[in-house]
Structure 1
Amino acid sequence: MLTDLKVKVGPQFYRYHVGAIDFVPELLQEFSAKHVLIVHGQISFEKAKPFLSFLEHSAYSFDFLQYTGECSYYGADRIAEVVKEKKIDFIIGVGGGKLTDLVGYASHTLNVNFGVIPTLASNCAPWTPLSVMYKESGESEGKSEHFLRQASFFITDPKLVIDAPVNYFVAGLADTIAKWYESDAILQQEHLKNEPFLQLAGYTSTLCKDAILKDSVKAIKDMEAGEVTEEFIHLSEIVFAVAGLVGGLGDKYARNAIAHAMHDGMSKYIPESHDFLHGEKVAYGIFYQLAVEKKWDQIEALLPFYQELCLPMSLKQMKITPDETAIDQIVNFVDSKEKVHLLPIPITVKLLKESIFELEDYINNR
């Protein structure tokens, strides 16, 4: 029996369908909210406004704060200033992954309840009680803040989500399929196979992978056409909600491994990687992890999916040329991550470095 497993399932209340956002006043009443701070982006908030009829509700007062675009400690301090000055008792984040991460972290530090209204499906940030931290420059801090406070609610509308940029959804699909590739080898180890919550995490990651491989092309075409279809609703829900259950149920054994560590390392040590979305860097990270594991057959199996979704498979394809110093910094960073060493192979800095070049040769010489 594991004694270090921390199960944090997700928001206290979840709803995703046309008209769902109209139920926000009921939830504000449930949490005795009176003075609400809306933290938002810019373009996404303009698109969201027609869905936010609760802002006209006379039972609540609303203040507004536009975030800087990063989930940073500076951003959390800005929220804290408004919360204290305006005597805010509830925070709602309206926006994408970095914004919901920021609101979750700030609410944790302030001991204030919060809810999220995602405007796009690009990752599971709205679901998970952790925040990936960045500097205001866009450089990764190289760490995540984990906390116990769950969102009071996660509510959004597919008619709002479908109006987001398609490349964010594609990146979200890549970020989500990583859940299986990062966790499966860990969860299949004999000493973990009979743990009930880890079994649930494994089933959930398989559900995510199978649905994405089956329906992604259709869901992307539907999004491009602005059609709210069953496939789009199903996969967007998997990206920003169901995927969060994998790490929520499996904790460190199913949260992330080399693919996400590579993302963080690139974000920290390669400035030009900031031009790529989180899920795009994770997509490259999946191939990199498979190269470390020498699972070339799985890379072959994924190639048609990557090619159809135009996902990055190599540094050369991304037009990123890190020097030797940056490569050494990245592999040492990846090696420093505990979850990387949960994989059932001996991970060394030498293996991690060699695998970068092996993957480049494999992809670029096809």
Structure 2
Amino acid sequence: MLTDLKVKVGPQFYRYHFGAINYVPELLQEFSAKNVLIVHGQISFEKAKTFLNFLKDDTYNFHFLQYTGECSYYGAERIAKVVEEQKVDFIIGVGGGKLTDLVGYAAHVLNVNFGVIPTLASNCAPWTPLSVMYKESGESEGKSEHFLRQAAFFITDPKLVIDAPVNYFVAGLADTIAKWYESDAILQQEQLINEPFLQVAGFTAELCKKAILDHSAKAIKDMENGEVSEEFVHLSEIVFGVAGLVGGLGDKYARNAIAHAMHDGMSKYIPESHDFLHGEKVAYGIFYQLAVEKKWTQIDALMPFYQELALPMSLKQMDIYPEDEAVIDQIVAFVDSKEKVHLLPIPITMDLLKESIVELEEYISKR
């Protein structure tokens, strides 16, 4: 029996189909909302406006705040100021992953209900009750804020999502496939394998992996052509919804491990990595974790998929390999400090983590 498993399944209400955003007023009524703050980006919000018919409803007082582009503690303070001044009783986030992370964290701190309208499928941020924190400079804070509050609703329209940059969707596919590579070895351990919620988390991670490997090429092509196909809808729903169930059901045992720890380490200690999307850095992190586990055949099996999607496989390929060995030592120490890294069924040491960085670079250079 596990005594430390916290199951937080997902938003209280979910819709993803043509016209779904028109149901937002129904949810606002459910939560007795009157003064509503819309937190939004810039470009994405301009595209989203034509879908936000509820903004014309004079039943509500709408207030607007454009976020800075980062999920930061400063950004949360800006939201808190508007909430206090305008007596806001509900927050809606319209935008991508960092924005929904910011809205979730701010709502948690302020004890205000919130909903999200994602404008792209690049990660499971709209689904999960945690926020990855950054400084306003773009540097990772090296920590995530976990909270119990879930979104009151997650509603969006595939016609809105398909109009996002394709590279964000590709990064989302990489971020999502990591769910299986990070969690499988942990969940297969004898003391965990028969835990019901962990079993469902494992099944869900495998579903994500199979769907992405089978249908990514078609979904990406359809997105490039602006075609809302079955494959695009299926995979975008997996990226921003189903993927969040993995960690929601499996908690720390299925949320992330070395791949995401490496992402955070890169973001913290390699400024040049800010030019890469979250999922792109996680994609490298998957290969790095497999190198730590010495699963070279799995790297070989994934290479065609990475090449097809133009995902990064090494730091040198990304042209961000640190010349200063001290930077590598900092990243390694950071990765080693993460509890979930040590849930893997192998002895994780600083030496192993460091030598695996070098081994992966050499392995990829010969392919």
Once residues 271 and 44 of structure 2 are traced to their aligned partners in structure 1, the CA distance between those partners, rounded to angstroms, is 25
Separation of aligned partners in 2, 1:316 and 1:172: 22
Q: Which residue of 2 is the match for residue 148 of structure 1?
A: 148
Equivalent AA in structure 2 for residue 358 of structure 1:
E
Paired amino acid for 1:344: P
**Structure 2: how far apart are the matches of 1:288 and 1:193?**
25
Match of 1:221 in 2: 221
Runs of 5+ consecutive residues of structure 1 not aligned to the other structure:
none
CA distance in 1 between counterparts of 2:320 and 2:365 reads 14
Structure 2: distance between partners of 1:265 and 1:58: 47
1:275 corresponds in structure 2 to 275
Tell me the equivalent position of 2:23. Answer: 23
Amino acid at match of 2:334: F
- Trace 1:314-325 onto structure 2 (pairs within 5 A): 314-322=314-322, 323-325=324-326
Q: 2-side partners of 1:165 and 1:153: how far apart?
A: 24
State how far apart, in whole Å, the 1-side matches of 2:16 and 2:41 are: 21
What residue in structure 2 maps to residue 264 of structure 1? 264
Task: Identify the residue that residue 335 of structure 2 maps to in structure 1.
Answer: 334
State the TM-score, normalizing by the size of structure 1: 1.00
| Structure 2 Cα separation of the partners of residues 276 and 91 of structure 1 | 29
Shift of 1:176: 0.0
Q: Which amino acid aligns with 2:283?
A: A
Q: What's the CA shift for 1:321? A: 2.2
1:58 equivalent in structure 2 = 58
In the other structure, the counterpart of 2:345 is 344
Q: Which residue number in structure 1 is paired with residue 233 of structure 2? A: 233
Tell me, in whole angstroms, the C-alpha distance in 1 between the residues paired with 2:320 and 2:268.
Answer: 14
1:167 equivalent in alignment to 2:167: yes
- Secondary structure in 2 aligned to 1:80? helix
Alignment of 1:165-244 (within 5 A): 165-244=165-244
Question: How is 1:61-72 mapped onto 2 (pairs within 5 angstroms)?
Answer: 61-72=61-72
2:347 maps to a residue whose letter is P
Q: 1:364 maps to which residue?
A: 365
Q: Deviations over 1:161-201 (max 9, x none)?
A: 00000000000000000000000000000000000000000
1:202 to partner: Cα distance: 0.1
* Residues matched between the structures, number: 366
1:74-153 map, 5 Å: 74-153=74-153
Question: Is 1:255–2:262 an aligned residue pair?
Answer: no
Q: Offset of 1:365 from its aligned partner?
A: 1.6
Q: Counterparts of 1:32 and 1:349 in 2: how far apart (Å)?
A: 52
CA distance in 1, matches of 2:272, 2:214: 33
- Root mean square deviation, CA, Å: 0.3
Q: Which amino acid aligns with 2:162?
A: I
Partner of 1:36: 36
Question: Once the 2 structures are TM-superposed, how far is the Cα of residue 334 of structure 1 from its aligned partner?
Answer: 0.2
Equivalent-residue separation in structure 1 for 2:327 and 2:18 (angstroms): 46
Q: Separation in 1 of the partners of 2:133 and 2:165?
A: 23
Aligned to 1:355: 356
Question: What is the distance in 1 between the residues matched to 2:152 and 2:57?
Answer: 19
Partner Cα separation in structure 1 for residue 86 and residue 5 of structure 2: 38
Distance 1:326 1:176 in 2: 28
Letter in structure 2 aligned against 1:341: H
Distance of 2:208 and 2:153 partners within structure 1: 22
Give the whole-Å Cα distance in 2 for the aligned partners of 1:286 and 1:301.
13
**Offset at residue 58 of structure 1 (A):** 1.4
SS in structure 2 opposite 1:101?
helix
Unaligned runs of 5+ in 2: none
Where 2:15 maps in the other structure, the secondary structure is strand
C-alpha distance in 2, partners of 1:326/1:134?
19
How many Å separate the matches in 2 of 1:321 and 1:215? 32
Aligned counterparts of 1:207 and 1:100: Cα–Cα separation in 2: 25
Match of 2:157 in 1: 157
Report Cα offsets for 1:228-284 as digits up to 9, x if no partner.
000000000000000000000000000000000000000000000000000000000
- Runs (4+) of structure 1 exceeding 3 A deviation are none
